[in-house]
Structure 1
Amino acid sequence: MESQLTHAVTRNPLVGWMPPADRERVLGYARPAAFAEGDVLFHEGEEARAFFLIVSGTVELSIAAGGKRTGVVGVLSDGESAGEVAVLDGGPYPVTARALDRVVALAIPGGTFLRHVEERAELMRGVVAGASVKLRALMRENGELKAMPTAERLCGFLLRLVDQADGMAKIKLPFEKRVLAGTLGVSPESLSRAFGRLRRVGITTGRTDVVVIRDVAELRQLVVAGSLGDVA
Structure 2
Amino acid sequence: MSSSATGDETVIEILGPVNLFILAAVLNNDICLQSARTLTLARILMIPANLIRELLVEDHDFMKAVVFELASAYRRTVKELKNQKLRSGTERLANWLLREERSQGGEGRLTIPYEKRILAAYLGMTAENLSRGFSALAAHGVNIKGLQIDIVDIGKLTDYARPSPLIDDGEPQLPQT
* Identity fraction in percent: 27
- The residue aligned with 1:50 is none
- 2:37 aligned with 1:64: no
Cα offset, 1:126, TM superposition: 5.2
Question: What amino acid maps onto 1:222 in structure 2?
Answer: Y
What is the distance in 2 between the residues matched to 1:138 and 1:146?
A: 12
Contact 1:165 1:216 in 2 (8 A): no
TM-score scaled by length of structure 1:
0.61
Report the residue type matching 1:153 in the other structure.
R
Question: Does residue 217 of structure 1 match 2:155?
Answer: yes
Q: Following the alignment from structure 1 to structure 2, what is the Cα–Cα distance between the partners of residues 198 and 90?
A: 45
Higher helix proportion? 2
Residues 63-94 of structure 1 show CA distances to partners (whole Å, capped at 9, x for unaligned) of 1234x352111111134311211111111221
Counterpart of 1:106 in structure 2 is 45
Structure 2 distance, partners of 1:178, 1:160, is 19
CA contact 2:13–2:122 (8 Å) conserved in 1: yes
Quote how far apart the aligned CAs of 1:135 are.
1.6
Instruction: Please tell me the residue identity of whatever aligns with 2:53.
Output: L
In 2, distance between residues paired with 1:188 and 1:159?
A: 20
Match of 1:205 among 107, 122, 144: 144
The partner residue of 2:24 within 50, 65, 85 is 85
C-alpha distance in structure 2 between counterparts of 1:224 and 1:165, whole Å: 17
Q: Which structure has greater strand proportion?
A: 1
Q: Secondary structure at the match of 1:171?
A: strand
What secondary structure sits across from 1:103 in the alignment?
coil
Q: Deviations over 1:139-196 (max 9, x none)?
A: 2222233201222211111111224667xx2210121111111111222221111111
**Do structure 1's residue 149 and structure 2's residue 149 form an aligned pair?**
no
Deviation for aligned residue 1:100: 0.6
User: Where does structure 1 lack aligned partners over 5 or more consecutive residues?
Assistant: 1-60, 227-232
Q: How far apart in 1 are the matches of 2:36 and 2:23?
A: 12
User: Per the alignment, do residues 74 and 111 of structure 1 end up closer, same or farther by CA in structure 2, a change over 3 Å counting?
Assistant: same
Please tell me whether residue 183 in structure 1 is matched to residue 122 in structure 2.
Answer: yes
Instruction: Give the RMSD, CA atoms, in angstroms.
Output: 2.5
Could you tell me which runs of 5 or more consecutive residues in structure 2 were left unpaired when the two chains were aligned. 165-177
- 1:1-232 residue pairs with structure 2 within 5 A? 61-66=1-6, 68-120=7-59, 123-124=62-63, 127-163=66-102, 169-206=108-145, 208-224=146-162
Using the alignment, how far apart are the partners of 2:20 and 2:143 within structure 1?
33
Q: What SS class does the counterpart of residue 185 from structure 1 fall into?
A: coil
Offset of residue 218 of structure 1: 2.9
The number of aligned residues is 162
- Larger CA Rg, structure 1 vs 2: 1
Q: Partners of 2:90 and 2:19 in 1: how far apart? A: 27
User: Which consecutive segments of 4 or more residues in structure 1 shift more than 4 A?
Assistant: 120-123
